[in-house]
Amino acid sequence: MIFEGNSLDTANTDSDLMVAVMESIAQAENESRSENIKWGIKQRAAAGTSKLYDRKCYGYKHDENGHLVIDEETARNVKLIYDLYLSGQSVVGIIKELEKRKILSPTRKVKWCKRTIQIEKIRRSNVVRDENGIKRKSEKYSSKKK
């Protein structure tokens, strides 16, 4: 491979060494950038200014100060969804009930998306399937994981 911009030819041993050095420098820069980003995220979290832990989700809203507070209207819908699920309703059954009651989705649509509910249910499940069959995850579910 020939890098014309740097006059390097990987067939040449000296050029091969130079390419390896350049790769190492690029890798070190990426690692440094990653560490700086992680440090910044941790500092904002410690200072309470991070938006990562303050993202709005269904059942909550931001108050006038930008803090998350329970949105009573959508929180009732969340409770209904949990109650329907715990009473044995399927995802499709829950969607039909929500649509029958004319409850809008989190994106303010009349139709609730079954696929989104299946994906979220799978993501939160502690059961995994692999080539060896079905097994339980070693960690517990946390709503804070994304």
Evaluate if residue 144 carries a pLDDT over 90. Answer: no
Strongest mean pLDDT among 3-7, 97-101, 119-123:
97-101
Domain ranges of the chain: 2-47, 60-128
Assigned token pair, 128: 């995994």
Which of the four pLDDT bands, split at 50, 70 and 90, describes residue 146?
very low
4 vs 37, which has greater pLDDT?
A: 37
Give CA separation, 102 vs 8, 55, 91, 99, 106, in Å.
66, 26, 16, 5, 13
Return contacts of 18-23, CB within 8 angstroms, 24+ apart. none
100 vs 143, which has greater pLDDT?
A: 100
The whole-number average pLDDT for the span 63-71 is 85
> Range with the lowest mean pLDDT among 8-12, 28-32, 77-81, 86-90?
8-12
Could you give the CA distance from residue 3 to residue 6 in angstroms, rounded to a whole number?
6
Evaluate if residue 101 carries a pLDDT over 70. Answer: yes
Which of the four pLDDT bands, split at 50, 70 and 90, describes residue 58?
confident
The chain-wide mean pLDDT, for the chain, equals 79
pTM listed for this prediction: 0.48
12 vs 66, which has greater pLDDT?
A: 66
Q: How confident is the model at residue 23, as a pLDDT?
A: 85
119 vs 36, which has greater pLDDT?
A: 36
Cβ atoms of residues 20 and 10 within 8 Å: no
User: Which residues, other chains included, contact 141 with Cβ-Cβ below 8 Å and sequence gap of 6+?
Assistant: 124, 125, 126
